[in-house]
Amino acid sequence: MIVLITGASSGIGEAAAWRFAREPGTELVLVARREDRLRELAAKLPAPTTWLPVDLTEADAPQRVLAHVEEHHDRLDCLVNNAGAAWRGAFAEAGYENVHRTMELNFDAVLRLTEALLPLLRKSAPSSVVNVSSTAGRIGRGAAGAYSASKFALAGWTDAFHLEEAPNGVHVGLVLPGFIRTEGFPADELTGKLLTRWMVAEPDKAAEAIYEAGPGGSAERYVPRPYALAAVARVLLPGLTRRILGGGVGKMAMTKTGADAADRS
């Protein structure tokens, strides 16, 4: 199984690399900006691994990634679109420019890369694509509107893309992480309180969800799983959801970086 993971130099992407590397016969292609981190990770993984340092927002990035894959492999069984970032700010202050740069990485870059690799994924069918969205792709929070817009878009496109590609043997799954404990987000304030401890998950939990949404064939997975209830509440009880998000937990989330501030890697 040939697996390509973007944003692989840290956090969820690094954990996903370790998860897939445990599967017999897996070979990995790691994509991120930080070459030193990619080289170090590749040397540790128990699976044959190549890497490509690239900023996915660059105009030639999709073709560079495709060329790298074709140089080392004749197929691609799973694409994990994990790279992303968040730049916080209320719209009145951060404006359209913040929305634009967030969409460019979290949405546009995903579509451009997937478009370039789709012929290879179809050729390798049965294959899969996993798009890493966020719980913010179902529920918006103050000061994170640009991020939510990008992840809402990614979630909606994922649903449509799966329907389009299922006849071609390409499964498309969605992973929606909440707060994930990473080097940039130790989550001490949340984990230190019994009331909010459940809100935080480890990167390996997200990595397992990615595997389930890819080769495992699941449609979508929330991490932690109880976040799915919040998405349901947003649909059934929108007024109550707004009041909760405007309260203590919501205000705390507005001032923290969580899973939605993943390193661009």
Residues with catalytic annotation?
147
Confirm if 8 and 17 have CB atoms less than 8 A apart.
yes
Residue 156 neighbours by CB distance under 10 Å: 13
Distance between first and last Cα of the chain: 24
CA 175/CA 132 separation, integer angstroms? 5
Q: Each residue of 67-91: b (16+ CB within 10 Å) or e?
A: ebbeeebeebbbbbbbbbbbebbee
State whether residue 164 is helix, strand or coil. Answer: helix
State whether residue 98 is helix, strand or coil. Answer: helix
